[in-house]
A = this chain, B = another copy of it.
Amino acid sequence: MWVLGVTERRVMGAFWVLNLVLFLVQVVGIKGAHGIGEHGVRIWPMPLSVSHSHKSLYVGKDFKIMSQGSKYKDASGILKDGFSRFLAVVKGAHVVDGDTSKLDQSRVLQGLNVFISSTKDELQYGIDESYKLLVPSPDKPTYAHLEAQTVYGALHGLQTLSQLCQFNFSSRVIEILMTPWIINDQPRFSFRGLLIDTSRHYQPLPIIKNVIDSMAYAKLNVLHWHIVDTQSFPLEIPSYPKLWDGAYSTSERYTMADAAEIKRGINVLAELDVPGHALSWGKGYPSLWPSKDCQEPLDVSNEFTFKVIDGILSGCWTLTPHVSKWLKEHSMNESQAYQYFVLQAQKIALLHGYEIVNWEETFNNFGNKLSPKTVVHNWLGGGVAQRVVAAGLRCIVSNQDKWYLDHLDTTWEQFYMNEPLTNITKSEQQKLVIGGEVCMWGETVDASDIQQTIWPRAAAAAERLWTPYDKLAKEAKQVTGRLAHFRCLLNQRGIAAAPLAADTPLTQPGRSAPLEPGSCYLQ
């Protein structure tokens, strides 16, 4: 179920870390998302195109979903569940106790008609996520109309619709201002990821589900689940039932059923690190360690070079007689052995039909040996995507200086302005950048602070990844009000998104508390 691997280096506080990672794209079930940001429009992220006028409509008490003419049968209830979530968030901010039957019925929406062209709902990476939303429907003025190629596009449309809805404090019902709305939308990039790390701190299931819900609000579509690392091995692996002896405690673990529950909600890119960061693996199976005294490639402080790290990594191999003997028999030095490990892992992944995602070190060190199907995951800094796509490989952008959420000094403005296609001008090369990912490494993040460390900064990146380049703000400050509105919307939905307020001696952009009393919309 979980697959295949490559290399990771990243900063942990002042330390540089290396590991090899097992990666696979596991494709299961997005939730919705939303739209645009024309003049006066507050939708986040901004859709491809939006037009609207100035008439208000009300959402009827028994607002229902219909699928007239739709080819999609929703046997697994994906659309139905999405609509239930839509109703819950739209009605959750205030008690809706107004009576729409007393209003002008020509202004009351009775329901939403959803038309989906594709009969399938297998969530493959790269599926069509586009949708078209009309409020009201030109044919049926007391209905809204949503059409999409796939059910996943329709879910995005529901998220956009949810952002058009607001509670009216006079009539006590939900209203939609500025109709008619005509929204055509689709993402700029197909991979819009968020990494969470359940090894440095365990994240309970309800917390992860909340993260998945909030990702859908921002139209992020891939949860990169960094499950295991040096510190703990929380996941059940049925074929090796002692691996999760490496968990922090018996209760800080995930069963396979828990993992399946997580994957029901979203695309999951599940990651198991090998052979670096392997200490936790050996708790249940000490023979996985080169030796008892040399349990893994350890963290390296202060300076990072692949040679140093490679030397430490291979140290356990050369110092351990049976590995050393094997290397000699195969005429390999340490870095050749590392390359051998990675390429073997790639082969296994491809045989099993998985996509391969490799942290960029493999590309930097033996890029010409990698399968052309490899997706290279940038993290070290800028300029890498440029080289990767020039070599004809696909790339995901996560440069740590801008898109690491655990860097608490990185502001939302920096997240917003980080452009994945910097210096990539050729159209065929631009297409190879499949998207980006913001990374919530878990050293100082547990259930108590994960939400406000992720949000609102991840939302800033989410618009960069969703919205067409020409519609993105050229300066971050142009979207401050709209992003503040989105963070307040997250708060109204019970998500602990932090204020946008800038850095001060008392706080940090990545985890700021409000500095003083005030409106949510101004903080």
Please list the residues of chain A having a beta carbon within 8 angstroms of any beta carbon in chain B: 92-95, 97, 166-167, 169, 172, 199-202, 204-207, 210, 231-232, 236, 248-255, 257-258, 260-261, 442-452, 488, 491-499, 511, 513-521, 523
A232 to B202: give the CA distance in the assembly, Å: 39
Contact, CB under 8 Å: A513 / B448: yes
16 contacts between A and B (CB under 8 A): A94-B257, A166-B251, A172-B257, A201-B518, A202-B519, A202-B520, A206-B493, A207-B491, A231-B518, A248-B519, A252-B519, A442-B517, A443-B516, A447-B496, A448-B498, A449-B514
Given A95-B255, A494-B210 in contact, is the A201-B520 Cβ separation under 8 Å?
Answer: yes
Contact, CB under 8 Å: A447 / B248: no
Query: Which residues in B have their C-beta under 8 angstroms from that of A443?
Result: 514, 516-517
Min CB distance, A518 to chain B, in Å?
A: 7
Q: Which of the residues B166, B206, B249 comes within 8 Å of A519, measured between beta carbons? A: B249
Q: Which of the residues B172, B494, B496 comes within 8 Å of A255, measured between beta carbons? A: B172
Min CB distance, A242 to chain B, in Å?
A: 13
Query: Which residues in B have their C-beta under 8 angstroms from that of A199?
Result: 517
Contact, CB under 8 Å: A446 / B499: yes
Given A201-B517, A513-B511 in contact, is the A448-B252 Cβ separation under 8 Å?
Answer: no
A92 to B445: give the CA distance in the assembly, Å: 21
Contact, CB under 8 Å: B520 / A252: yes
Q: Which of the residues B97, B496, B523 comes within 8 Å of A496, measured between beta carbons? A: B496
Q: How many copies does the complex hold?
A: 2
Q: Which of the residues B205, B447, B519 comes within 8 Å of A497, measured between beta carbons? A: B447
Contact, CB under 8 Å: A497 / B448: yes
Query: Which residues in B have their C-beta under 8 angstroms from that of A206?
Result: 92-93, 492-494
Min CB distance, A166 to chain B, in Å?
A: 7
A216 to B516: give the CA distance in the assembly, Å: 29
A516 to B499: give the CA distance in the assembly, Å: 24
A495 to B93: give the CA distance in the assembly, Å: 19
Query: Which residues in B have their C-beta under 8 angstroms from that of A450?
Result: 496
A94 to B92: give the CA distance in the assembly, Å: 25
Q: Which residue of B lies closest to A260 (CB)?
A: B95
Q: Which of the residues B200, B204, B449, B495 comes within 8 Å of A513, measured between beta carbons? A: B449
Query: Which residues in B have their C-beta under 8 angstroms from that of A92?
Result: 205-206
Min CB distance, A404 to chain B, in Å?
A: 16
Query: Which residues in B have their C-beta under 8 angstroms from that of A521?
Result: 248-249
Given A251-B167, A445-B514, A448-B498 in contact, is the A95-B257 Cβ separation under 8 Å?
Answer: yes
Query: Which residues in B have their C-beta under 8 angstroms from that of A444?
Result: 513-516
Min CB distance, A239 to chain B, in Å?
A: 16
Contact, CB under 8 Å: A169 / B520: no
A166 to B250: give the CA distance in the assembly, Å: 11
Q: Which residue of B lies closest to A517 (CB)?
A: B200
Query: Which residues in B have their C-beta under 8 angstroms from that of A495?
Result: 447
Extra A-B contacts (4), CB below 8 Å, given A444-B513, A444-B514: A202-B519, A206-B492, A443-B517, A447-B520
Contact, CB under 8 Å: B494 / A95: no
Min CB distance, A502 to chain B, in Å?
A: 15
Given A93-B206, A206-B493, A261-B95 in contact, is the A513-B445 Cβ separation under 8 Å?
Answer: yes
Min CB distance, A474 to chain B, in Å?
A: 28
A405 to B443: give the CA distance in the assembly, Å: 26
Given A172-B255, A513-B511, A520-B252 in contact, is the A448-B207 Cβ separation under 8 Å?
Answer: no
A207 to B494: give the CA distance in the assembly, Å: 5
A449 to B496: give the CA distance in the assembly, Å: 7
Contact, CB under 8 Å: A255 / B513: no
Interface centre among A97, A445, A520, A523, by most chain B C-beta atoms within 10 angstroms, is: A520
Query: Which residues in B have their C-beta under 8 angstroms from that of A520?
Result: 201-202, 248-249, 252, 446-447
Query: Which residues in B have their C-beta under 8 angstroms from that of A488?
Result: 251
A516 to B254: give the CA distance in the assembly, Å: 21
Min CB distance, A450 to chain B, in Å?
A: 8
A499 to B443: give the CA distance in the assembly, Å: 13
A442 to B514: give the CA distance in the assembly, Å: 9
A523 to B450: give the CA distance in the assembly, Å: 15
Query: Which residues in B have their C-beta under 8 angstroms from that of A204?
Result: 93, 491-494
Contact, CB under 8 Å: A491 / B452: no
